[in-house]
Amino acid sequence: ATPAATMVGSTLGAQNGVLFKGGDVLERAKDVDTVVFDKTGTLTTGEMTLTDVVALEDEGEGARAAADGGDAAADGGAVATRSQLDESEVLRLAASAERDSEHPLAQAIVEGAAERGLDLSAPDSFENVPGQGVRATVDGREVLVGNRRLLEGDGVDPAPAADEMERLEREGKTAMLVAVDGAVAGVVADADTVKESSADAVADLRERGLDVMLITGDNERTARAVAERVGIDPDDVRAGVLPEDKADALEDVQSTGRKAMMVGDGVNDAPALAVAHVGTAIGSGTDVAIEAADVTLMRDDPLDVVKAIRISEATLAKIK
């Protein structure tokens, strides 16, 4: 594009809350034929709410209780055994482990614990495992909060929680395992809301002849539930994808000659944003994502993805 056309496109973009990092980005955006969305924080609000807390009994029998029914007596004197914690203690340990995590899933757990009046402990150690969860030492206990992969990676068998995990995932919730001292102790679940305009954005992109895909670190059941709600074909869902594999998945899509726009918000999306023909970051997302991206959407509106592509087309049309 000529400098003048680039200027027009950039200005038009800025007026519409779409920031292009340079003129060549505008040109690349015009050639995009596939849009790959991240799920959490991109198609959904990412504003998670804690909905369920489950304490597993010794034999793995689910001793389930709705999270809003939990009482606030966890900081009392009872010393729970490692595989027989009550719901309050499962939640208190999970929330303590998640205290320093910026992940929306973590924040919902911490807020849920606060609402239930639980006193959190400061973790002695804390480690974020991208795309899997967190590992922390809380009150001298080894606490894991995350997905099956996280536990398996640490040699902890998630099987005793399998039924509870599936039940919650079928409800479209993100269920997370809580392991304490090497054994699964319970499950916590967060629920998220699909953004109002996600379905419209997918429909608009499709109308323009673009293919639309969903890539997420979340599990298959939850991912498909969201895909169905926004109009993405179940065959175009890639679930359980690790951050580094998100970039590989993008390269896979593009290896057939496709030109993909990846849209994401998280640290975990940054590698994929970098390898995509065009990386687009949600403006409320993390700085790492914004830095890795070519385009930043200042609003959280998925319809601005359509706008970005339209502006690039309009700009290029001007110089032809």
Residue 131 as a binder of ligand ADP (CB under 6 A): the answer is: yes
* Contact string (CB under 6 A) for ligand ADP, positions 63-102, x = contact: -----------------------------------x--x-
Phi, psi of 72 (to 5 degrees): -110, 30
Residue 38 appears among annotated catalytic residues? yes
By the 10 Å C-beta count (0-12 exposed, 13-18 middle, 19+ buried), 216 is classed as: buried
15-54 residues near ligand ADP, rule: CB under 6 A = 38-40
Residue 38 as a binder of Mg ion (CB under 5 A): the answer is: yes
Residue 164 as a binder of ligand ADP (CB under 6 A): the answer is: no
Closest CA to 95 of 164, 178, 184: 178
Q: Determine which one of 38, 190, 269, 294 is catalytic.
A: 38
* Least distance in angstroms from the C-beta of 243 to ligand ADP: 6
Dist CA 49 CA 100 (whole Å): 17
- Judged by phi (left if over 0) then psi (alpha if -120 to 50, else beta), residue 122 lies in beta
Strands 211-215 and 237-238: parallel
- 34-42, 56-64, 157-165, 235-243 -> range binding Mg ion (CB under 5 A): 34-42
Dist CA 98 CA 135 (whole Å): 9
Q: Which does 51 bind (CB under 5 to 8 A by kind): Mg ion, ligand ADP, none?
A: none
Q: What share of the chain is helix, strand, coil (3-state, %, to 5)?
A: 45, 25, 30
- The residue from 120, 145, 270, 295 that contacts ligand ADP (CB under 6 A) is 145
Residue 265 as a binder of Mg ion (CB under 5 A): the answer is: yes
Q: Which does 141 bind (CB under 5 to 8 A by kind): ligand ADP, Mg ion, none?
A: none
Dist CA 101 CA 276 (whole Å): 27
Written as six digits, the tokens of 223 are 């991912």
Applying CB under 6 A, the residues found at the interface with ligand ADP are 38-40, 98, 101, 103, 105-106, 131-134, 145-147, 174, 176, 216-218, 266, 268
Catalytic positions are: 38
